[in-house]
Amino acid sequence: MSCLGELFRRKRLEKGISQNQLAKKLGWKSGQLVSTYERDECYPPMGSLKKIAKIVGASVEEIMSAHSLDMQRKIHEELR
């Protein structure tokens, strides 16, 4: 199981798409924001999340599972 950023990165690479190519498909100027999302530094807004998922071929189930894992990790870190 992977975090959301790891999921998007894995799916993007499986499709053979660079960060810059994904950014261009999303109408963004560079792949810097894609990199930020893949490193789990922040989450994309819902509209972008849907677009990214569609482009890289991530299912709703995969996204929900990854998001759930992200939340579990954050809670665990805060409880330490």
Q: Which amino acid is it at 28?
A: W
Is the alpha carbon torsion for 8, 11, 14, 19 positive or negative? Answer: negative
Residue % of the chain over a pLDDT of 90: 57
The yes-or-no verdict on residue 15 having pLDDT over 80 is yes
As a whole number, the mean pLDDT across the chain is 91
The full set of domain ranges for the chain reads 4-79
4-79 has CATH 1.10.260.40 classification: yes
Average pLDDT, stretch 9-32?
96
